[in-house]
Structure 1
Amino acid sequence: MTRGAWTQGARLEAAAMRVETRLHRKGVLETRRFAARTEARAIVVATLAFGVGLAGGAVGYWGRAVPVWEGASVAAGGIAVAASITLAAASVSYRLAARDPRQAWLMGGTRARRAWMTSAVAISLAAVFGMLQWMLFDMASLIWPGAAVDTLTATMIVALVAGASGYTAFAVAAHVTATRLVVLLFAVVATGFAVSAATTRDDDWYRLNFSELGGQGGVTAAVFNATLLIAGGVTALLALYLLTSLARWARTEPRVTRARELIVYVVFLMLAGCFIGAAVVPVTTSQVGHNVFAIGMAVVFGALLLGLRWVLPCLPWAMIALGVAVAIGIVFSAILFWLSYYTLATHEMVCAGLVVGWLLLFTRTLAATERADAAAADVDAGSCVLETDSSEPLV
């Protein structure tokens, strides 16, 4: 082949690299613009939510002393606006998130899948915000029992709760990641179980296990079982985000095969199914059936931890070793329970802490790997452009 042919091919390659680099720069600019627009929209949403809370509080509390906790109280208004405004703001924000170049993959898939993803994010955030308000106002009622405030004070409290909920929900839902989903999962379970424990009439439930809260009936069981259902939805969404993250990693890591991606995806779907099954079959309905889902959750996750070396051998050795250590910690905690040193509730809390900690580090490791691969690709692209743009002849 002649010298000119080689030169022409190199020039075409250089032109292609220039186009790719410009597209990348355009994507960066679009990402920055999306972040700025999100912040501006969040402020607008907070302002509108504040106005809605102000109007609702003025109508609901007009001309009377408003109790902090009992009946048509400040707590009732705060919980209602926190949950409803969070639901609306998060739904809108997550639908707009697909315009972010970093989240363009959200445009793929069917409308049905997009709808349930939006529902999972919005409902879980609304549940967390609503239960946080319940906990805050409950503590206020314990500090100031029987307290009441005037119309203006009650209205301003509800309006501030509405504004803060709208802003935070819009900002959080605008950029959902696997790590944030793990935090959201923990927040759902922690707040739901806390409210269930606070509303139960059985003061000795902790001597047994958390599942006892789901079989007591009334508000306690409703909150507990709803928490498990929402946790199942968040875990299923986490499975989809992990599948997407592993698919991106597979572009630069040949050991991340499609089969290994699907193994991780199926494991987290099974965990989601266990959450939902434990809610649908409470201990009062079938102790055996409930235990199948509860124990199945531990077995499935433990198998993932112990098999991590073969499922994802490309992970850093520290992450794989940590998975084994967490599995050993879960087994050690189970032994302490079998020896009657721990109650089952204590064992469940220890396991939950270990699992959430590992999940946070696992998702952060995946995110760091993606960023490193993207940076390396950008450096390679830039060096290729510089080489082909040089004045030396290309042969």
Structure 2
Amino acid sequence: MSRRDAEPAHSPSRERPSPEPTATAVEARALATGLVAALAGLVLALGAFVGRRPALSGDHGVGDVAALVAGVAALVAFPVAYRRSYGDPDRRWLADRPLWRRLLGTVALAFAHAAIAFMVAWASFQIFQRAFTGLTLDAFAASLLTAVSAALAAYTAYQSGSRMDSYALSNLLATFLGAGILTSMVTTTRPNWWQVNFSVLGAADYGVALAFNATLVTAGVVIALLAEYMTRDLRALDAHRSRAGLTAARTRERPLLTCLVLMGALLACTGLVPVDVFIPAHNTLATSMAATYTLLLVRAPAWVPGLSRTFYAAGYAMLGAAVISVMLWWPLGYYNMTAMELVVAGVVLAWLVLFTRNVAAAVEDVRRHEDAA
């Protein structure tokens, strides 16, 4: 069967998708999930704060407990909603993937949501502690705040799992990477880490190395999952163009998919081989990922024709910015390696998000053109 054929019939050996969820049903389930998480968080927090008067953050305060409970709530709520979303006609292809890919993608996305919920809750209580200096709470008030954090995390994660698409996945990737790396920066035990290079955040003697390395590994898996969503979008784009009688050249999904999966694999391996374990391998993996990104950007007009010229021009401008950033580090020596790495990483991530959104926008435009014809 060719890649352009219709989706294969559902195999009896595969799990059967749930009935198609309605928007009202999704909203109701998200609210119910939030209420359950709030009750569970309240009970857990009462046990954690009994006999204490905790501060908003620090020293096992409200923020520490609330962040942990919120992370667990998101970790549980997301896969439940994601699995139920298989009933949506636009997402039934998720159930037709091999089991290991379904599990790997679900685990990575659930972990990303849990990490974001944890970091947002932890940072929020840090900020409130600075706003209300010296404030402490009794056990019940502290437990209520923890319950609210759990409810918000579970509700948001359930909504995300029910509506996951290319747009949402690209936004999740950017949010998760940004939050994970920022957390690594503020939790490191070496305040001068930026004078060395970006990768030392993953070194064992630089604080909570697990946060940095786990962020890279999970982000790599999410990028590989993004390739699957992009493949679906490209097939839909070609199908709608064909039915609408548009003359744009057909997309080439195979090289695009290969580059995205390779980028994800290289990023994950970069996290699995920290800089203090084997520097040559770590640097080679990171450089190879940058080279793969460059190839993808340069070949994007040929592989995905018909997108806006503004997007293609912006891509070349961003590539130029990355090259200039490297030159400012070496040979010009204007700033150090950390600054260069931050700029390049930001450019790569921003282009991936823009690419995903532009393809999804093209699908929406051609669908509307087809409906109007």
TM-score of the superposed pair, with normalisation by structure 1: 0.82
Superposed CA offset, 1:18-50 (max 9, x none):
xxxxxxxxxxxx98x621211111111111111
Residue correspondence of structure 1 range 249-288 to structure 2 within 5 A: 249-251=237-239, 252=241, 255-257=249-251, 260-288=252-280
Residue correspondence of structure 1 range 9-158 to structure 2 within 5 A: 34-142=22-130, 147-158=135-146
The structure-2 alpha-carbon separation of the partners of 1:71 and 1:138, relative to structure 1 and needing over 3 Å to count, comes to same
The AA in structure 2 aligned to 1:53 is G
Alignment partners' CA distance in 2, 1:69 and 1:124? 23
Counterpart position of 1:236: 224
The structure-2 alpha-carbon separation of the partners of 1:95 and 1:357, relative to structure 1 and needing over 3 Å to count, comes to same
Superposed CA offset, 1:224-244 (max 9, x none):
111111111111111111111
Counterpart contact for 1:306–1:324, Cα < 8 Å: yes
Question: Where does structure 2 lack aligned partners over 5 or more consecutive residues?
Answer: 1-18, 243-247
Residue correspondence of structure 1 range 122-201 to structure 2 within 5 A: 122-142=110-130, 147-201=135-189
Alignment partners' CA distance in 2, 1:217 and 1:241? 38
Aligned: 1:345 with 2:338: yes
Counterpart position of 2:304: 312
Alignment partners' CA distance in 2, 1:64 and 1:305? 55
Superposed CA offset, 1:255-299 (max 9, x none):
335xx2011111111111111111111111111111001111111
Residue correspondence of structure 1 range 193-212 to structure 2 within 5 A: 193-212=181-200
Alignment partners' CA distance in 1, 2:293 and 2:53? 52
Q: Could you say what secondary structure the match of 2:22 adopts? A: helix
Superposed CA offset, 1:180-202 (max 9, x none):
22221122221111111112122
Aligned: 1:376 with 2:369: yes
Alignment partners' CA distance in 2, 1:201 and 1:144? 26
Q: Could you say what secondary structure the match of 1:148 adopts? A: coil
The AA in structure 2 aligned to 1:301 is Y
The AA in structure 1 aligned to 2:210 is A
Q: 2:233 aligns with which of 207, 231, 245?
A: 245
TM-score of the superposed pair, with normalisation by structure 2: 0.87
Shift of 1:355: 2.5
Counterpart position of 2:328: 336
Q: Could you say what secondary structure the match of 2:208 adopts? A: helix
Shift of 1:172: 1.3
Alignment partners' CA distance in 1, 2:361 and 2:52? 55
CA RMSD of aligned residues (A): 2.0
Which protein has the larger Cα radius of gyration, Structure 1 or Structure 2? 1
Q: 2:319 aligns with which of 302, 327, 336?
A: 327
Counterpart contact for 2:78–2:113, Cα < 8 Å: yes
The structure-2 alpha-carbon separation of the partners of 1:61 and 1:162, relative to structure 1 and needing over 3 Å to count, comes to same
Counterpart contact for 1:182–1:356, Cα < 8 Å: no
Alignment partners' CA distance in 1, 2:116 and 2:130? 21
The structure-2 alpha-carbon separation of the partners of 1:283 and 1:235, relative to structure 1 and needing over 3 Å to count, comes to same
Q: Percent identity?
A: 31
The AA in structure 1 aligned to 2:316 is V
